[in-house]
A and B are shown apart, each in its own frame.
Chain A
């Protein structure tokens, strides 16, 4: 029995290593011969891109282990600064204070829009900037004002560590108040789940996370599409950053170079963000 299990595992390993060598190397060549562990944490908007890149790298070189955690932009900056992770992601630019305190080096690798989302059942598909601000501040508290059922508007927002929240608050709400009754969720995934199961919810997520479980809302008639963000018609946008403490070296440098390479930027596009190179 045990022998069979071992045989099976060996077969899997052989298959995996075989599959790895079939992948076209190209930009991945740089990882040949490298080994070790790379720890990445922080912004949750970044995770799809990071995961795909990590998958490709680990496929071609099984000696490299890459771990990817969320936590939010605040966590990314803090953990990179304290040396707990090699690369800390953030969905906002690190503040001058943070850069100075941790001696951070910042790499912008993509541009991302932040879309206001509602449940797909919700017929309200467009808001003015004023309506948006009022909905989040609680001044506009019922959906019937916007032409739907007489139910309360359930506002979802992100926790203090979120770069998405920071950017949305500045560019989407003009630093307006967010009502104290707003529900706090801890990641992009949690935000999407909350809004997709709550017909009367409203929240905001990175456009890379948009799919048909939630419906995006256009602001002042401009919908949050990649095209509108690229042409700067849609205002609620931000860069996605990787941060390291001091100049990156070793695996971290290889990884950052890869993300900024042609293939890395292809992944960025594939995952619904805007490439910068």
Chain B
């Protein structure tokens, strides 16, 4: 009987694994299939190089690729140190109830819908940024990155605190016996040991930053230029798809968004691969 249940569970899990694997492969082949005409027609390179000018017959997505890259990496750049600090405070350094309180606050943040962040930012952050730079609309790369950083912060903090908490207690005891202060423990024991957890947190939040549509649609300004300064408006691939998908589905603009989807897919895959490679340098957890 037990054996039978085991078998069932095994089969069940196998099926769900197959479904999720085939789903991602299916999406990839769907995107490739629909972008094939564009790739075959030799438009691919031109699309990668040129700008977006539907009336001039140019459907290049280079500005959006740059926009996505810049906004997502800037968001990660802002959120990662803050997240590290928060989690260090929560799981190691804070005394009394402070850590628990911060953790509760961060958990609460995960429940706030993106549109609320976007809405608040339009009225509070955007005018501030506009006045600080004294030019542009305030809807720019920097504003979008800051809001995205707030958005991905909970993911990073959750992963980091979990990773920090899973460091074996006897290592901490041993280091404490040698006279290590909590800060020294954090830097020399906890962070190296939770490297993989840190990397998974960064991978997931990077994926979220690249994939988020609403924040960049509302805050980044959606301009069709390659951003050259932090105060320049920019458009991400996701926002581009959202803006074009409403249009005429027979138009070449519409066809080009399949390629955007493909680029986005490859983009995220590469990011995950790179960060996973970084992760393999850490100390294995099972020692």
Contact = CB atoms under 8 A, between A and B. Distances in A.
Contacts of B127: 197-198
B248 interface: yes
- B130, B137, B221, B225 interface centre (most CB from chain A within 10 Å): B137
Contact of A98 (B134, B243, B248): B248
Interface in B234-287: 235, 242-244, 246-250, 253
A97 B126 CA distance: 41
Interface in A166-201: 180-186, 193-194, 197-198, 200-201
B246 A74 contact: yes
A186 B137 contact: no
Interface string B219-234: 0011111000000110
Contacts of A98: 248
A198 B137 contact: yes
A101 interface: yes
A197 B221 contact: no
A75 interface: yes
Question: SS class of chain B's interface: helix, strand, loop or mixed?
Answer: loop
B253 to A, nearest CB: 6
B139 A183 contact: yes
B124 to A, nearest CB: 10
Interface in A35-80: 71-72, 74-75, 77-78
Contacts of B89: none
B135 interface: yes
How many chain B residues sit at the interface, stated as a range, is: 20 to 34
A218 interface: no
A152 interface: yes
A198 B224 CA distance: 20
B122 interface: yes
Contacts of A200: 130, 137
B217 interface: yes
Nearest to A142: B135
Contacts of A201: 137
A160 B137 contact: no
Given A186-B217, A193-B122, A197-B123, A180 B51 contact: yes
Give 8 closest A-B pairs by Cβ, nearest first: A184-B222, A161-B246, A183-B221, A154-B137, A180-B225, A159-B243, A160-B247, A75-B246
Interface of B: 51, 54, 63, 122-123, 126-127, 130, 134-139, 217, 221-225, 232-233, 235, 242-244, 246-250, 253
